[in-house]
A = this chain, B = another copy of it.
């Protein structure tokens, strides 16, 4: 066997960047081959079930990152809740390249017949949501209010990414996150 020219992690990261910029159908094998530097047949060697396998591997990889870099620190770090929330915002800002890159939750949930992948994406969302709700309750919100604010935050993340892609206005994501940071912890008003 010839030696592996690209390790699993780098490989999946390359696939990920293409999938999130072009979506599932837009990420053709020719492009996947190009961005990874591996010929198509080599991709099939690493992912026997083909493109669907690659997308699934990407989702699992991102899922792990979400848990390690976002959810875990959000729940378990010793920092104050507000600080943990701010850390999360900083993390996702980097992850989305200041709002210039798409979220895989959006682009891979488009279209049809990707049941397994959709289930994974749904779970990621719910886990992230649960972590935010936990933090909300920690700062005194009741379940209902914590859920409402957490959902609002995640809606804002996805929406800001869409609008920034649409307008090419680099401030959209940044401004939204600053806004939502304040709103999440704000006092209720009538």
Interface residues of A (CB under 8 A from B): 21-26, 102-103, 105-107, 109-112, 118, 121-122, 125-126, 148, 151-152, 154-160, 162-163, 165-168, 172, 175-176, 179, 186-187, 189
Contacts and interface: CB of A to CB of B under 8 A. Distances in A.
The 3 A-B residue pairs with the shortest CB-CB distance, nearest first, are A159-B159, A155-B159, A25-B25
A179 B163 contact: no
Main SS of chain A's interface residues?
A: helix
B155 A160 contact: yes
Given A152-B179, A167-B126, A172-B151, A112 B22 contact: yes
Nearest to A189: B189
A19 B157 CA distance: 24
A154 B148 contact: no
Contact of A162 (B105, B118, B126): B105
A112 B26 contact: yes
Contacts of A22: 25, 110-112
A106 B162 contact: yes
A163 B158 contact: yes
A101 to B, nearest CB: 12
A155 B151 contact: no
Most chain B beta-carbon neighbours within 10 Å: one of A125, A159, A175, A187 = A159
A111 B121 CA distance: 20
Contacts of A110: 22-23, 26, 102, 107, 110, 165
Contacts of A157: 159
Contact of A186 (B21, B154, B168, B189): B189
Given A109-B165, A118-B166, 8 more contacts: A22-B111, A22-B112, A23-B25, A23-B111, A148-B175, A155-B156, A158-B159, A189-B189
